[in-house]
């Protein structure tokens, strides 16, 4: 049995009034991929921040032993020097600098204080080869997609001679294909002797690559499972995370599907960036009353773009196509008109485009339906508060009160606020774009329940999701979108992971 | 996590009142340093009149800052431009004063629309558009005035800044002022009592009785003190009524109306505001039109006070207005700030100006002190926010 590269013993970390880590023990074997799982707020990030020196020595109690030495990191630089590198969920690259410049940011290749650019780009090329990224190191980071940026981030860590890589939700923003590539890269790096810690909500990935799994719950280590020794199953991990057996990951509902209530016909749009390039090509979609329709596909396939071009023509140029509701054509050319026609779009990125983080829950919830709480443009504060309270209770938003800034809520609760905001507009059609991204299993279940309740009330729900099991689990019917066109329409019975994948890969029409 | 949120509330309130407390401390300090001159009724009236145009400008500036974090650098030049326009219309052409004022306000709309068009619809940064405007309108002013000062303006025009309501009564105290003061207190208390009743009727959460009456008493005492002070001198300046109307109107607009809420939303997160159905382009355009109108109003007031149109009028007014907003707690990136805060900020600057000038301190030292106060206020703001994030 290999020795431990890292041991964290009896780690206790307190914030004023809360003990976030209560005596956590965490050991990682050299050369292994060790998964760290737990619900949001379980203490994973705090533990990693303790490890990397974000919370300096002295602000926590307990011991960190790395490579046999007791460590007392005062800042991130200390931990990097020791060989620990974090690849953050939110990438920390500078968009307007080149790959090469980014790779050596902070430890530039210099000779006598002057940057040696030839050496820099030469070394950069080697690093890119190590992560299997075929890009010119002079390329600006802003021109790379998220998957490639992630690889640059990893290359950057390798450039610092990292021995232990910490991946914080590395695949949260990646497509299935890119995620798969990333996981393979992790295995490759493992063969070269690197140790990785993987923090992820995606249990299938975890069971696929990791050698051992540690579960945190409420700041405590629940258990550590080792591959080959313990029986590892998703159900067991989930049970450990939430502390209860989750019999079903998707709540059941009685589907009562009515007539066609919402229809997009022959929708096309050009790319706003590249002149004359058709980004969306002749897309037609139907949704019945009370139906949940999933839009599956790779990231960048055009699903978000479709939603945004329909909802207020926010994306694309030369938009053609028609939108029908209850058989009548409706105008959705501005967001106001779309909202007036009872359409709601819950954005993909809740922090960036869904919420005003500095404002409180109340303000955020009522933002899209101020007309419901105002008369002659004058807001009735009391009415607003009572509505906000109503939604807070109905959606079980965990907070002290409705005056808490949404920036201080957990991901799942933030998502509930966004949902509440749109439910308050009393929509007939809801387009949900990645509504469960980056939130924990328990909160996901609650979001699914909300979706089911909406469908049960006869609303049309369109759900965009990049997680296959989720699309399969929640949808009554699935459209697969690839390259800006519909490449498949599958009923609940037809839809299996394999058939959907086929439509994605085949790039030709199947099913209907 | 619960405890954190509880804590978060406290420093925000503290921050809200801290500038008011600082203002009161400053006034007391100047009272001592000037040997009692500072708080004389005459000086208080002066203080209000002196700072009227900065307060008017800072109201408009606050809307710009809240809605988009942008500032309007052109307002000082616009003040001079409007002055020149009034000079030409009233003094040289002999136009009716009120018609000329209407035209001046119309010119303000056009100036705002011109800048708003570039900023909101063409997406040129406000800093650049208004920097250009600062040069353009100062240039036009110089061209129109040919380096000369235009005067004299008719009495009717001058009364905007120097007029007072007719005095009544025979004693030392002016009865018009006292009556208005009492009415103001009654309205103030009545509005909050009605609000409380409505809350009770609908079964909403109410503030504690002590807090409710405490607030009312403080407000009543403040209004009462101001009333007595004004009544001891010339009574209520017309300009004060205009300013109070603006302050009340804009506070109401920002706090209680849908468009006001939308300005805060777009300043907090523009993308989210767009996706929530806010027409951000139109809102930003109108914000700058509004700034143009208020700049024109400030121009009218300032010209009236100066009794002349001069080429150098309004220099650095933009800086005073911007500083007032930041001292008053507006966020540099937009999304937060209040009219009351901006007004308090403007008063802080005004009190420093006035107090130091009574003490005979030169403008060199005064500027330095104003700069330090601005920095201190913002540093305090950021530190108190940081504190809450950490906790």
HEC string of A256-315 equals CCCCEEEEEEEEEEECCCCCCCEEEEEEEEEEECCCEEEEECCCCCCHHHHHHHHCCCCC
- Residues A331, A311: Cα–Cα separation, whole Å: 10
- The answer to whether residue B172 scores a pLDDT higher than 80 is yes
Chain A, chain B: beta-carbon pairs less than 8 Å apart: 108
- Residues A137, A123: Cα–Cα separation, whole Å: 10
* DSSP string over B44-106: HHHHHHHTHHHHHHHHHHHHHHHHHS---TTHHHHHHHHHHHHIIIIIIT---HHHHHHHHHH
pLDDT reported for residue B8: 41
- The answer to whether residue A198 scores a pLDDT higher than 50 is yes
Strands A33-37 and A60-66: unpaired
The reply to whether A450 falls in a domain is: no
Q: What is the mean pLDDT of residues A395-410?
A: 87
pLDDT reported for residue B273: 94
Beta carbons within 8 Å of B96's beta carbon, 6+ residues apart: none
**Which phi and psi (to 5°) does residue A91 adopt?**
-65, 140
Give the ipTM: 0.84
| Residue that terminates a domain, selected from A209, A242, A275 | A242
pLDDT reported for residue A17: 60
Q: Touching check for B281 and chain A: CB below 8 Å?
A: no
pLDDT reported for residue B116: 97
Q: Touching check for A353 and chain B: CB below 8 Å?
A: yes
- Min Cα distance A413 → chain B (Å) is 13
Q: What CA–CA distances, in Å, run from A471 to A299, A349, B182? A: 14, 18, 67
- Residues A150, B69: Cα–Cα separation, whole Å: 32
Q: What is the mean pLDDT of residues A285-293?
A: 94
For testing contact with chain B, the best of A55, A335, A357, A412 (most B CBs within 10 A) = A335
Strands A110-111 and A510-511: unpaired
Kindly indicate the confidence band of residue B388, based on its pLDDT and cuts at 50, 70 and 90: low
Tally Cβ neighbours within 10 Å of residue A72. Answer: 12
- Residues B132, B130: Cα–Cα separation, whole Å: 5
Q: What is the mean pLDDT of residues A477-487?
A: 89
Q: Which residue has the tokens 């923003």?
A: A173
Across the interface, of B2, B199, B268, the residue whose CB is closest to A400 is: B2
Q: What is the mean pLDDT of residues B323-337?
A: 91
For testing contact with chain A, the best of B68, B272, B390 (most A CBs within 10 A) = B272
**Which H helix or E strand runs over A33?**
strand A33-37
- The answer to whether residue B11 scores a pLDDT higher than 70 is no
Nearest chain B alpha carbon to A381: B256
The reply to whether A126 falls in a domain is: yes
- Asked if A16 lies within 8 A of B3 by C-beta distance, the reply is yes
- Asked if B3 lies within 8 A of A17 by C-beta distance, the reply is yes
Tally Cβ neighbours within 10 Å of residue A172. Answer: 18
Q: How many CA atoms lie within 13 A of A72 on its CB side?
A: 4
Q: What is the mean pLDDT of residues B346-366?
A: 93
Which among B143, B155, B159, B151 has a CA at the least distance from the CA of B92? B151
**How many domains does one find in chain A?**
3
**Which H helix or E strand runs over A13?**
strand A4-15
- Residues A276, A410: Cα–Cα separation, whole Å: 42
Residue B28 structure tokens: 């007391």
Whether the CB-CB separation of A426 and B22 falls below 8 Å is answered with no
Kindly indicate the confidence band of residue A344, based on its pLDDT and cuts at 50, 70 and 90: very high
Whether the CB-CB separation of A253 and A457 falls below 8 Å is answered with no
Question: Each residue of A435-467: pLDDT tens digit?
Answer: 988 787 788 888 999 999 999 999 999 999 877
Percent of chain A with pLDDT strictly greater than 90: 43
Question: Each residue of B139-170: pLDDT tens digit?
Answer: 999 999 998 999 999 999 999 999 999 888 88
Which among A400, A439, A395, A432 has a CA at the least distance from the CA of A417? A395
Quick one: A190 exposed, middle or buried, by C-beta within 10 A (0-12, 13-18, 19+)?
A: middle
What class, spelled out in words, does domain B12-163+237-390 have in CATH?
mainly alpha
**Are residues A437 and A407 both part of a single domain?**
no
Q: How far apart are the first and last CA of chain A?
A: 55
**Are residues A337 and A355 both part of a single domain?**
no
For testing contact with chain A, the best of B275, B333, B389 (most A CBs within 10 A) = B275
Largest CA distance in chain B: 69
Which among A231, A172, A217, A499 has a CA at the least distance from the CA of A349? A172
What CATH number did the domain enclosing A275 receive? 3.40.50.300
Q: What is the mean pLDDT of residues A463-491?
A: 88
Helix (H, G, I), strand (E, B) or coil at A38: coil
- The answer to whether residue A22 scores a pLDDT higher than 80 is yes
Q: Touching check for B387 and chain A: CB below 8 Å?
A: no
**Are residues A265 and A231 both part of a single domain?**
no
**Are residues A361 and A237 both part of a single domain?**
no
Residues of chain B with Cβ-Cβ distance to A354 below 8 Å are: 272, 275
- Residues B127, A18: Cα–Cα separation, whole Å: 44
Which among B347, B326, B249, B286 has a CA at the least distance from the CA of B71? B326
Q: What is the mean pLDDT of residues A275-294?
A: 90
Question: Each residue of A140-188: pLDDT tens digit?
Answer: 988 888 788 888 988 988 888 889 999 988 876 677 788 888 899 999 9
**Are residues A267 and A294 both part of a single domain?**
yes
Across the interface, of A335, A354, A379, the residue whose CB is closest to B261 is: A379
pLDDT reported for residue A248: 63
For testing contact with chain B, the best of A370, A403, A417, A431 (most B CBs within 10 A) = A370
- Asked if A352 lies within 8 A of B9 by C-beta distance, the reply is no
- Residues A205, B92: Cα–Cα separation, whole Å: 82
> Mean pLDDT over all residues of chain A?
87
**Are residues A362 and A487 both part of a single domain?**
no
- Residues A320, A302: Cα–Cα separation, whole Å: 15
CA B63 from centroid of its chain's CA atoms: 11
| Residue that terminates a domain, selected from A242, A263, A296 | A242
Across the interface, of A345, A356, A374, the residue whose CB is closest to B269 is: A356
Under DSSP, the state recorded for A2 is P
Kindly indicate the confidence band of residue B16, based on its pLDDT and cuts at 50, 70 and 90: low
**Are residues A338 and A372 both part of a single domain?**
no
Whether the CB-CB separation of B215 and B192 falls below 8 Å is answered with yes
Encode burial over A103-114: b for 16+ CB neighbours within 10 A, e otherwise: bbeeeebeeeee
Encode burial over B255-286: b for 16+ CB neighbours within 10 A, e otherwise: eebbbbbbbbbbbbbbbbbbbbbbbbeebbbb
pLDDT reported for residue A399: 85
The reply to whether A188 falls in a domain is: yes
**Are residues A415 and A437 both part of a single domain?**
no
Helix (H, G, I), strand (E, B) or coil at A330: strand
Q: What is the mean pLDDT of residues A281-295?
A: 94
pLDDT reported for residue A356: 93
Whether the CB-CB separation of A124 and A103 falls below 8 Å is answered with yes
**Are residues A57 and A142 both part of a single domain?**
yes
- The answer to whether residue A322 scores a pLDDT higher than 50 is yes
Comparing A424-433, A496-505, B66-75, B208-217, the range with the smallest average pLDDT is A496-505
**Are residues A324 and A368 both part of a single domain?**
no
- The answer to whether residue B9 scores a pLDDT higher than 90 is no
pLDDT reported for residue B299: 97
Q: How far apart are the first and last CA of chain B?
A: 10
**Which H helix or E strand runs over A214?**
strand A212-217
- The answer to whether residue B3 scores a pLDDT higher than 80 is no
> Mean pLDDT over all residues of chain B?
90
The CA-based angle A72-A76-A79, given to 5 degrees, is 50
Beta carbons within 8 Å of A269's beta carbon, 6+ residues apart: A278, A279, A280, A305, A309, A315, A316, A317, A318, A319, A320, A321
- The answer to whether residue B248 scores a pLDDT higher than 70 is yes
- Residues B99, B101: Cα–Cα separation, whole Å: 5
- The answer to whether residue B243 scores a pLDDT higher than 90 is yes
The reply to whether A509 falls in a domain is: yes
Maximum mean pLDDT: which of A103-117, B16-30, B309-323: B309-323
Handedness of CA A174, A178, A180, A182 (dihedral sign): negative
Percent of chain A with pLDDT strictly greater than 70: 95
Domain that holds residue A200: 4-242
- Min Cα distance A358 → chain B (Å) is 7
- Asked if B391 lies within 8 A of A16 by C-beta distance, the reply is yes
Length reported for chain A: 512
Q: Which residue has the tokens 């909403």?
A: B204
Which among A130, A145, A198 has a CA at the least distance from the CA of A168? A198
């Amino acid at each position: 049995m290999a020795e431990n590269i890292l041991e964290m013993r009896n780690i206790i970390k307190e914030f004023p009034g809360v003990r976030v880590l209560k005596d956590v023990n965490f050991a990682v074997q050299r050369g292994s991929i060790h998964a760290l799982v737990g619900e949001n707020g379980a203490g994973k990030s705090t533990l990693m921040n303790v490890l990397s020196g974000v919370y300096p020595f002295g602000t926590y109690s307990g011991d960190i032993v790395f490579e046999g030495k007791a460590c007392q990191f005062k800042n991130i630089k200390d931990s990097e020097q020791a060989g620990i590198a974090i690849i953050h969920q939110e990438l920390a690259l500078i968009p307007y600098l080149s790959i090469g410049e980014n790779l050596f940011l902070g430890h530039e290749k210099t000779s006598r204080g002057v940057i040696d650019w030839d050496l820099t780009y030469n070394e950069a090329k080697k690093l890119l080869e190590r992560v299997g990224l075929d890009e010119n190191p002079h390329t600006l980071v802003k021109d790379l997609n998220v998957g490639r940026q992630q690889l640059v981030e990893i290359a950057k860590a390798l450039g610092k001679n990292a021995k232990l890589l910490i991946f914080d939700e590395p695949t949260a923003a990646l497509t299935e294909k890119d995620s798969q590539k990333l996981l393979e890269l992790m295995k490759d790096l493992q063969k070269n002797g690197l140790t990785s810690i993987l923090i992820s909500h995606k249990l299938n990935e975890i069971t696929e690559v990791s050698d051992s799994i540690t579960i945190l719950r409420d700041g405590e280590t629940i258990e550590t499972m080792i591959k080959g020794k313990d029986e590892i199953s998703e159900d067991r991990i989930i049970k450990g995370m939430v502390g209860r057996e989750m019999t079903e990951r998707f709540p059941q509902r009685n589907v009562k599907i009515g007539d066609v209530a919402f229809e997009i016909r022959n929708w096309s749009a050009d790319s706003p960036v590249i002149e004359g390039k058709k980004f969306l090509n002749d897309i037609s979609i139907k949704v019945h009353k009370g139906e949940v329709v999933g839009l599956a596909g790779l990231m960048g396939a055009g699903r978000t773009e479709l939603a945004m071009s329909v909802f207020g023509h926010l994306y694309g140029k030369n938009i053609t196509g028609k939108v029908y509701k209850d058989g009548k054509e409706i105008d959705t050319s501005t967001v106001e008109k779309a909202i007036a026609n009872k359409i709601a779009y819950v954005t993909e990125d809740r922090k960036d485009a869904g919420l005003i983080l500095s404002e409180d829950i109340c303000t955020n919830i009522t933002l899209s339906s101020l007309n419901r709480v105002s008369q002659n443009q004058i807001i009735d504060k009391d009415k607003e508060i009572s509505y906000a309270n109503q939604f807070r209770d109905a959606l079980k938003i965990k907070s002290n009160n409705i005056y808490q800034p949404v920036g201080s809520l957990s991901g799942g609760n933030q998502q509930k606020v966004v949902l509440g905001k749109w439910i308050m507009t009393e929509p007939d059609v809801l387009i949900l774009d990645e509504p469960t991204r980056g939130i924990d299993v328990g909160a996901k279940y609650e979001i699914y329940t909300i979706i089911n309740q909406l469908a049960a009330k006869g609303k049309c729900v369109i759900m965009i999701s990049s997680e296959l099991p989720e699309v399969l689990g929640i949808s009554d019917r699935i459209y697969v979108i690839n390259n800006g066109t519909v490449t498949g329409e599958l009923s609940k019975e037809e839809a299996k992971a394999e058939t959907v994948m086929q439509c994605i890969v085949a790039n030709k029409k199947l099913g209907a | 996590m619960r405890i954190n949120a509880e804590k978060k509330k406290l420093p925000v309130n503290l921050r809200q009142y801290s500038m008011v407390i600082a203002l009161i401390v400053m006034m007391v300090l100047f009272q001592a340093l000037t040997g009692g001159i500072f708080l004389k009724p005459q000086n208080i009236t002066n203080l209000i009149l002196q700072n009227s145009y900065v307060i008017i400008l800072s109201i408009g500036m606050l809307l710009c800052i809240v809605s988009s974090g942008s500032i309007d650098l052109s307002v000082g030049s616009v003040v001079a431009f409007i002055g020149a326009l009034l000079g030409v219309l009233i003094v040289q052409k002999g136009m009716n004063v009120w018609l000329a004022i209407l035209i001046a306000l119309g010119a303000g709309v056009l100036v705002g629309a011109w800048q708003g068009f570039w900023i909101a619809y063409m997406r040129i940064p406000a800093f650049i558009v208004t920097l250009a405007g600062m040069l353009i309108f100062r240039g036009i002013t110089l061209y129109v005035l040919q380096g000369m000062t235009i005067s004299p303006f008719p009495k009717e025009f001058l009364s905007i800044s120097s007029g007072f309501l007719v005095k009544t009564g025979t004693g030392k105290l002016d009865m018009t002022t006292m009556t208005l003061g009492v009415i103001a207190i009654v309205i103030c208390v009545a509005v909050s009592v009605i609000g409380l009743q409505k809350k009770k009727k609908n079964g909403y959460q109410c503030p504690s009785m002590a807090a409710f009456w405490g607030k009312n008493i403080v407000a009543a005492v403040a209004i009462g003190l101001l009333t007595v002070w004004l009544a001891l001198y010339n009574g209520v300046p017309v300009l004060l009524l205009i300013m109070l109307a603006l302050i009340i109107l804009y506070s109401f607009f920002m706090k209680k109306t849908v468009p006001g809420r939308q300005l805060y939303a777009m300043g907090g997160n523009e993308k989210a505001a767009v996706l929530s159905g806010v027409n951000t382009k139109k809102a930003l355009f109108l914000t700058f039109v509004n700034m143009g109108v208020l700049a024109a109003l400030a121009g009218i007031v300032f010209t009236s006070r100066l009794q002349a149109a001069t080429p150098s009028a309004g220099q650095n007014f933009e800086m005073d207005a911007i500083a007032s907003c930041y001292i008053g707690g507006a966020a540099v990136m937009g999304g937060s700030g209040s009219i009351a805060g901006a007004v308090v900020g403007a008063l802080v600057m005004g009190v420093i100006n006035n107090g130091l000038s009574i003490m005979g301190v030169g403008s060199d030292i005064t500027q330095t002190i104003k700069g330090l106060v601005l920095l201190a206020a913002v540093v305090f703001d950021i530190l108190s926010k940081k504190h809450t994030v950490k906790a």
